């Protein structure tokens, strides 16, 4: 508040829910993170609540599910060092930049034994941020909102869709489970839709993969 900031938008994560018991995760789901990433995000959420009570700071908290894709202009995309996100890793394997995609665990309690996640296009994510900031600047109270589309895809399904989109037979190998990985995280995004007027219009899985692939080709992904 000393810096004149009375509104704050925070990027949190669905990992704060841990191994959720609900098929679709709403904001009322208990937050029981199973890894340090989720635990640290939850700690900041709680600090924002404490700061708000003490100073009047209003905050919108967005709990992202799995963000993917690239900008429509193909000038901004996903690139981490080291890379940990599934779709970029799969496309690295499709392009030959990686020998294979490692499937971490095939014994989860899901239909094909691999983890299930809800994927959200990055431009739909950006739109949510704009709406959240407008809410705060308009004087409305803050709140916590899940951002996802309510449709889960397994690791195996993502790989198969990437094979179809890229026209490649993507090599894969089995690996052990990663500690702290929940078996299923699928979003109930109805609160953001109702209160912010948010609509995820770009978050078709094939489109997200195609956008990421097109952006990557501009960085040397040609086969």
State pLDDT tens for residues 10-19.
999 999 999 9
pLDDT at 1: 61
Mean pLDDT score, 60-85: 89
**pLDDT above 50 for 135:** yes
Q: For the chain, what is the mean pLDDT?
A: 93
Considering 37, 108, 119, 153, which one is annotated as catalytic? 37
Domain positions in the chain: 7-217
pTM (predicted TM-score): 0.91
For residue range 160-196, what is the model confidence (pLDDT) as tens digits? Answer: 999 999 999 999 999 999 998 999 999 999 999 999 9
Beta bridge pairs of residue 146: 63
**Among this protein's residues, is 37 annotated catalytic?**
yes
Which CATH superfamily groups domain 7-217? NAD(P)-binding Rossmann-like Domain (3.40.50.720)
- Rounded Cα–Cα distance for residues 52 and 6 (Å): 9
**Contact of 213 with 161, CB cutoff 8 Å:** no
pLDDT at 74: 78
């Amino acid at each position: 508040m000393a810096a004149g900031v009375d509104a704050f938008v925070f990027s949190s994560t669905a990992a704060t829910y841990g191994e959720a018991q609900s098929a679709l995760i709403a904001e009322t789901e208990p937050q029981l993170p199973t890894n340090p990433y989720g635990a640290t995000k939850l700690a900041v959420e709680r600090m924002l609540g404490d700061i708000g009570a003490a100073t009047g700071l209003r905050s919108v908290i967005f709990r992202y599910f799995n963000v993917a894709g690239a900008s429509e202009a193909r000038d901004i995309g996903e690139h981490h060092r080291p890379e940990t996100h599934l779709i970029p890793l799969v496309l690295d394997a499709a392009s030959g930049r990686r020998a294979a995609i490692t499937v971490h665990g095939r014994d989860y309690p899901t239909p094909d034994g691999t983890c299930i996640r809800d994927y959200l296009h990055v431009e739909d994510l950006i739109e949510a941020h704009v709406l959240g900031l407008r809410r705060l600047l308009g004087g409305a109270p803050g709140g916590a909102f899940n951002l996802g589309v309510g449709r889960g895809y397994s690791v195996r399904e993502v790989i198969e869709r990437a094979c179809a989109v890229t026209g490649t037979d993507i090599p894969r190998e089995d690996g052990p489970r990663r500690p702290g990985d929940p078996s299923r995280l699928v979003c109930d995004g109805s609160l953001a839709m109702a209160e912010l007027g948010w609509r995820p219009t770009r978050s078709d899985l094939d489109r997200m993969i195609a956008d990421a692939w097109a952006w990557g080709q501009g960085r040397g992904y040609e086969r």
